[in-house]
Homo-oligomer: A and B are copies of this chain.
């Protein structure tokens, strides 16, 4: 397996030249596009890593999966999906014109910014408690209490977050968001700034692949119904406005972040963490996509693939 991973990294390294590192905040801009890495954990507890896998990076949009899980646990499906939809969209992640047009009366799904701001707001507790719940959940999943958030990134997010503020105030105007907008956004910016490495990320993947339960059973995050929703939402909405093509080409439920991380889940089999900060036009790791496509093909991980009997 390690050889395979190494090979796939090298095979897809050329893609970096066609991508761009995120540039809206200094910390992301300074990332090295050649720092590509991958970690895979299986259900027997084996761990396979290759490339640059122990560098920390911020999870960014990957945090949306955890926030959705907590919002669902705290409020139930009905309450959450009254305020945010379950539909994929062919719009960019930070688009919100449909809410102004009243084409939709709620954000399309919890994986785009508008939807994720709503789910974060729905986590029970004070703003401090909301964030602590997210952080502690990730610590419990990874069994790693050293995980924290990157203050520099958090402050940059806060400073450049005017589009998210616009989204949040429109959500508030439409009755989809309660409480203080700056406080909700503060939690949102902090959760995006949580920092971990690829082993941690693969552990989150395994936790999901195992039905929101750690391998050793020490932490059960949610029931099976919610776990199923998380996997489905990652499949249909996890890769921004490339989710449909990613489903057809790779078929591994995944969620990407603008830092270049991808959280991938092979149900009942693997948790995968990938890193590669050069992004494609949709905001997904360009090398990460290539590696996952090859991995899916070589190991037969595409959930839409017919096994065949001949």
Q: A residues engaging B (CB < 8 A)?
A: 43, 81, 85-91, 95-98, 100-101, 103-104, 108-109, 162-163, 165-170, 172-173, 181, 209-211, 217, 224, 227-229, 231-233, 235-237, 241-245, 247-248, 251, 253, 267-268, 302-310
Contacts and interface: CB of A to CB of B under 8 A. Distances in A.
A210 to B, nearest CB: 7
A88 B89 contact: yes
A162 B166 contact: no
A97 B101 contact: yes
A245 B170 CA distance: 24
Q: Which of A104, A210, A233, A244 has the most CB of B within 10 A?
A: A244
Residue among A237, A306, A310 with most chain B CB within 10 A: A306
A118 B254 CA distance: 30
Given A211-B308, A304-B253, A236 B243 contact: yes
Quickly give the copy total for this chain. Answer: 4
5 contacts: A85-B244, A86-B247, A165-B169, A209-B306, A235-B235
Given A231-B304, A236-B244, 19 more contacts: A87-B90, A87-B245, A88-B89, A88-B244, A89-B89, A90-B108, A101-B101, A162-B169, A209-B306, A210-B309, A211-B308, A228-B248, A228-B302, A229-B248, A235-B235, A237-B244, A267-B304, A267-B305, A303-B304
B232 A306 contact: no
